[in-house]
Structure 1
Amino acid sequence: MNLYSEFYVSEKSERFVNKIWCLDNSIGETLIENKLILPNGCFNLAIVSGRSIEVHTSKKKYLMTEGLYFCSQMTNKVLVNIQPETKVTITQLHPWTLSMFPKYDLSNFTDAILKIDPTELPFDDEIDYRLNSSISDLLNVINTYFEELDALHPSKNTIEKICEIIRLHEEEISISEIGKIINLSQRSLQIKFQAATGLTIKKYIQLLKFRKSVDQMVHMSQEKLSLTDVALYNKYFDQSHFIKKFKDVTKTTPKMFNPDFYFLSKKR
């Protein structure tokens, strides 16, 4: 059994879904405790099967029993304890995906988890909560819905355009520059982005830089990068600036960071 595994959606669905990942202690006999998850700039739709998982965000402790949960943007590391006979399957949504549904205002919704009724989901097929549920069945449900959404909305909306501009400029772009490209005022940009993601544009850019830095550090032995290299490559002012920002999220320094304590994305 792999405690952590990743699965990928179809090419068209990838416009809205980054990946599906699974924390599987379904045949385990002991509690998996004190494992950590880092923020990544995405939303998560979590299916808890079996007993329960305990999640500690920077704001609150959540006991997630069997059911469906919407997880907001996280701005700090999250600690999880997974009971035996428990599996958590998580669909990771890009930051702009929720902006396709304008009725949701997420301005003040970060570092939080909300249990939701399955009837609130837009999918045509029901989600299977059983411990032995097939990931291929979930992939079919997700792909069917998001491929149709892609066909219905061929043009990018404002939030998707903002995120694309940030990505293409490798996070190093000012809000005023983004506004000029999209032809919107800085104030309008900020209001729209925060309502759709819960984050300011600046905070989103910081999270992207942080995760890129962590990914490089995890593979540092192969790439032979020093902390200074990582800091400068990701446009931090210097190593001290990088260490400070790193501690803001992880509460530890880069040198004390131990990847074995974390559920980290696989290198694709």
Structure 2
Amino acid sequence: MNLYLEHYVTQKTERFINKIWCLDNSIGESLIENKLVLPNGCFNLAIVTGKAIEVHTSKNKYEMNEGVYFCSQMTNKVLVNIEPKTKVTIIQFHTWTLSMFPKYDLSNFTDSIIKINPEELPFNLQIDSDIERLLQTINVYFEELSDLHSEKNTIEKICEIIKNQEEISVADISKNLKLSQRLLQIKFKTATGLTIKKYIQILKFRKAVDQMVNADLEKLKLTDVALYNKYFDQSHFIKKFKDVMKTTPKTFDPDSYFLSLKR
């Protein structure tokens, strides 16, 4: 049994959904504990079946029994314990996806998880759906959403600019979009719970960690990782690393984390 699996949506759906990933302990007989998840700038919709999963964020501990949960943006690592006979299927939304539903104000919602009624979702989500049925549901809904909204909104444009330009300021984004910095900040915070600066920091940090995981650190020095990802120096990177991970790069163990597969 593979504890961690990834499933991919259609190209059109990828505009809104990064992937669907599963934590599967459904045939396990023992608790899987002290696994970790890193922030990556995405929201997650988690479907728990079986017994329960326990999640520790920087703000709280959540006991997630069978049901559907909405997970906010995370700004620090998250600790996960998975009970035996439990499976968690997670739909990972891009940063801007929730901005397509302006009734949601996420200004003060970070590092948090809430249980939701699946009937309130805009698509028909069955908690006992297999992965093929779930992918079909997600693809049908978000392909149609993409067709209905062919023009990118402000939040999607901000994220696209940040993705294409690693080092950019809010002032630069403001000039690019011809909108005031204050308006951009309000819109972004309402849609994501993050400031634009914090979002940039999360993406930069995650890119650096992924590089550490996928590179041969005997050949690629920590200083190289720091400078390549636009940190001032190695000390600056180590400080930021400790802020999020509560450990140093030297003691970082990738096997303790659920990390994205290379595609």
TM category, shorter: over 0.9
Name 1:168's counterpart in structure 2. Answer: 164
What amino acid does structure 2 have at the position aligned with 1:67? Answer: G
SS at match of 1:221: coil
SS at match of 2:251: coil
State the alpha-carbon separation in 1 of the partners of residues 74 and 155 from structure 2: 18
Name 1:233's counterpart in structure 2. Answer: 228
Of residues 144, 149, 154 in structure 2, which corresponds to 1:153? 149
Name 1:37's counterpart in structure 2. Answer: 37
1:155-205: CA deviation from partner (whole Å, max 9, x where unpaired): 0000000000001102x0010010001011111110000000000000000
State the alpha-carbon separation in 2 of the partners of residues 99 and 120 from structure 1: 17
Number of matched pairs: 263
State the alpha-carbon separation in 1 of the partners of residues 177 and 63 from structure 2: 42
SS at match of 2:216: helix
Task: Give yes or no for the alignment of 1:245 onto 2:240.
Answer: yes
Name 1:7's counterpart in structure 2. Answer: 7
Name 2:83's counterpart in structure 1. Answer: 83
What amino acid does structure 2 have at the position aligned with 1:91? Answer: I
State the alpha-carbon separation in 2 of the partners of residues 254 and 159 from structure 1: 32
1:126 shift after superposition: 3.6
Task: Give yes or no for the alignment of 1:59 onto 2:55.
Answer: no
Of residues 159, 173, 176 in structure 2, which corresponds to 1:178? 173
Runs of 4+ aligned residues of structure 1 deviating over 2 Å after TM superposition are none
Q: Which runs of 5+ in 2 are unaligned?
A: none
State the alpha-carbon separation in 1 of the partners of residues 57 and 125 from structure 2: 29
State the alpha-carbon separation in 1 of the partners of residues 217 and 93 from structure 2: 30
Contact kept, 8 Å, 1:28 with 1:84, in 2: the verdict is yes
Contact kept, 8 Å, 1:6 with 1:21, in 2: the verdict is yes
State the alpha-carbon separation in 2 of the partners of residues 7 and 255 from structure 1: 32
What amino acid does structure 1 have at the position aligned with 2:242? Answer: K
Name 1:206's counterpart in structure 2. Answer: 201
What amino acid does structure 2 have at the position aligned with 1:88? Answer: V
Name 2:28's counterpart in structure 1. Answer: 28
What amino acid does structure 1 have at the position aligned with 2:188? Answer: F
State the alpha-carbon separation in 1 of the partners of residues 241 and 131 from structure 2: 34
Task: Give yes or no for the alignment of 1:221 onto 2:210.
Answer: no
State the alpha-carbon separation in 2 of the partners of residues 203 and 232 from structure 1: 19
Name 2:186's counterpart in structure 1. Answer: 191
What amino acid does structure 2 have at the position aligned with 1:143? Answer: N
Mean Cα deviation higher: 194-203 or 221-230:
221-230
1:41-93: CA deviation from partner (whole Å, max 9, x where unpaired): 00000000110000000000000000000000000000010000000000000
What amino acid does structure 2 have at the position aligned with 1:42? Answer: C
What amino acid does structure 2 have at the position aligned with 1:158? Answer: T
1:186-245: CA deviation from partner (whole Å, max 9, x where unpaired): 111100000000000000000000110010000121893211111001000000000000
Contact kept, 8 Å, 1:220 with 1:226, in 2: the verdict is no
1:88-124: CA deviation from partner (whole Å, max 9, x where unpaired): 000000010000000111000000001000111111x
What amino acid does structure 2 have at the position aligned with 1:114? Answer: I
Between the aligned residues of both structures, percent identity stands at 76
State the alpha-carbon separation in 1 of the partners of residues 119 and 130 from structure 2: 21
